[in-house]
Amino acid sequence: MKPRYAKDQPAGFTNRIQNMAIVGATGQLGKFVISELLKSGGHNVTALTRLGSQSALPNGIKQTPVDYDDEASLVHALQGQQLLVIIIAVSAPAEVHSRIVNAAGKANVPCIMPNSYGEDIVNGAAKEDLLPVYSKKGLQEIEDAGSSWVVMVCNLWYEYSLAMGPIWFGFDFAQKKLTLYDDGNTKVNVTTWEQCGRAIAGFASLKELPENEYDVAPTVSGLRNKALYVSSFLLSQNDMLQSWKRVTGDSDEDWTVEAENSKERFHRGIAMMKSDNALTARMGAGMASFVRMFFPGGDGNYEHTHLLHNESLGLPKESLDGRTAFAKKLVDEGYAAKLFKRAAAEMTQT
């Protein structure tokens, strides 16, 4: 494809994303994205919400109710958008994501950030699709719809994963017990919700095209059909434990530490996924998905092989202990128990 430059575009071309839409603006990650977009300014942001939703959005965000089962409703809502950011629960049916993507293609949305906020599905090693939304199949679907994609690789959400308990990072806070994967020294990239929000806002603020053939600044077009690598910290489980102890004042004697082979834990998670109990199966998927990031020599440490985009997006350095303190706040508030209770209730209704 012949390179396109801003200097060659017709009069009135602004060379920036003005109009963008978000699916999932009121969700856990979506709230941080909206907050950062409002801080950066310069965008007309439309939040697509489900018909009948009572969720409130901050001033400056246009709320457009849609029927996600009606493609025409989605196409109408996406007309004139330059960027679509999709943030939906990984438990959502795959056809929902497909319907949104196909509608975006019919609405001529040129760029889509799909619902893949985690591992490197673009350049990472091929692996089982434990969570079907996170797969390369979805990227081909976007291309087939006539749009391009940018996948934000942020790996594991730090505060969320730490606060969720033993299935995720191996921390049982009630018992003050930590299960290390192997020796607990394998480092993986993790990203905070705030940093994810800043990264998406930073991407949306890039120039669409280089000004000319000599312009080497990062652009939206330069990231077309590529991965956007961002990270807050490169940490091992032992690093997390040391941060927790600094924040809480706990001593080594306060914690019981044991180890489990990462491959054995992975296969234990796979076995749980076959359970007839839906919640057990979901916990198994979480266990297997998380521990495989800690496989020695695996894809969890992507900054070892790929250049992070933190600097080009203007992302700040963060305080590890500050974010660990936020995770502790979530633990103290019973965050994980509330999510498990809500998930169980949703499964009962289906």
Residue 200 pLDDT exceeds 90: yes
What span, in angstroms and rounded, lies between the C-alpha atoms of 144 and 221? 18
Q: Is it the case that residue 348 has pLDDT exceeding 70?
A: no
Residues forming a β-bridge with 148: 111
* Helix/strand number for the chain, H first, E second: 11, 13
In this predicted structure, the answer to whether residue 346 has a pLDDT above a threshold of 90 is no
- Distance CA(251)–CA(231), nearest Å, equals 29
Distance CA 161, CA 124 (A): 21
CA-to-CA separations, 218 to 45, 71, 152, 241, 281, in angstroms, rounded: 22, 34, 15, 37, 42
Cβ-count burial 194-230 (b if 16+ within 10 Å, e if not): bbbbbbbbbbbbbbbbbeeeeeeebbbbbbeeebbbb
Percent of the chain with pLDDT over 90: 78
3-state DSSP assignment of residue 171: strand
Q: Over the stretch 179-191, which tens digit does the pLDDT of each residue have?
A: 999 999 999 999 9
Question: Using CA atoms, how far apart are residues 67 and 73, in angstroms rounded to an integer?
Answer: 6
CB 288 within 8 A of CB 270: yes
pTM of the model: 0.92
